[in-house]
Amino acid sequence: MIRQDYDLSACNTLRLPARAQLWGEFSDVSELLTLLSAAAASHWPVRVLGGGSNVLLAGDIPGLVICPRMAGVQVLRQTAEFSWVAAEAGLSWHDWVVQSTAYGHGLENLALIPGTVGAAPVQNIGAYGAEAADFIDSVTGVQLSSRQLRTLSAAECRFAYRDSVFKRELARDFVITRVVFRLPRQFAPQLSYGPLATWSATAVVTPQSLIEEISRIRRSKLPDPQQIPNAGSFFKNPVVSAAQAAGLQREHPQLPCYPQAGGDVKLAAGWLIEQAGWKGRWSGHAGMHRDQALVLVTDGTAVYTDVERLQQQVQADVLSRFGVQLEPEPQLF
């Protein structure tokens, strides 16, 4: 069923006010194709909204906004080393991480990231030494321009740091319906992140205990969107040349730097923002969180222009002080 004039304020974790001209949900590919056929017949533009945890709603949305509700899980095949498991796009990401341990391992470090399975490949979500791309085998969906079902291999998804083909050539032209994960069956936890290494020195590390510890760490660092509107980490950690990083470290010895494959260096955006004076500071109805400078929060009454203004102010101050351009993680919807 297609609904008209649908309120989207509860459909995005920043709670920015917006309304969809039309709204439709789908529980399988057949329902999705029916919605797309109706949109094509009436010349409605189509956009996809999952959990709304990584988007910026700039105002009312013309055309049809569709939302996946399918949440099934299917084991496709197994070997002694790996399980190939398909998870449908509407499944809560955290719920999938918890379920995934019944089939294999590797996703534990990505626990409690808000959003859905279908959104994970778009952003190539990552945390605490792991990325979704490390475990994605393929992504299936419908290309809007052709209304054809397509399956893209991991290589075709062109995953990079918080990036994929779904944010580039296929932006607004692909509706993800399921993601196939290749999960190692042997548990080999990724514990390189400092607090995890400290915890693991005295803890009994199991898939369940690791999920619980990751969840505890995230709750200690990031506000609950149900209580304080936010979109998680708002800016990407910038990647700069080794020469630029070395120059910055000479001026700022405490700057956290993380060497990358290929010679570049990733900087800690939260540290840059805090040093630029924005931790706990507000601009109108939006501010940077008092405990985590990387998280942009609102008071629940903000509109997109409040967020945009704060984003630009933070970017300008970091650029002025450090010569580094910050790039936001959330996408303009």
Q: Where are the alpha helices (DSSP H) in the chain?
A: 29-42, 93-100, 120-123, 154-157, 194-200, 207-221, 242-251, 269-275, 304-322
DSSP-assigned beta bridge partners for residue 74:
86
Ordered DSSP codes for 15-44: ----EEEEEEEESSHHHHHHHHHHHHHHT-
Catalytic residue among 53, 100, 138, 233: 233
Task: With CA atoms as reference, report the closest residue to 75 among 63, 66, 65, 83.
Answer: 83
Residue entry with tokens 């999920």 = 211
Is-catalytic flag, 329?
A: yes
Query: Could you tell me if 130 and 142 are in contact, meaning their C-beta atoms sit under 8 angstroms apart?
Result: no
Catalytic residue among 88, 108, 213, 329: 329
In this structure, what token pair is assigned to residue 182?
Answer: 């290749």
Catalytic residue among 100, 131, 162, 218: 162
Is-catalytic flag, 192?
A: no
Query: Could you tell me if 55 and 96 are in contact, meaning their C-beta atoms sit under 8 angstroms apart?
Result: no
Is-catalytic flag, 212?
A: no
Active site residues: 162, 233, 329
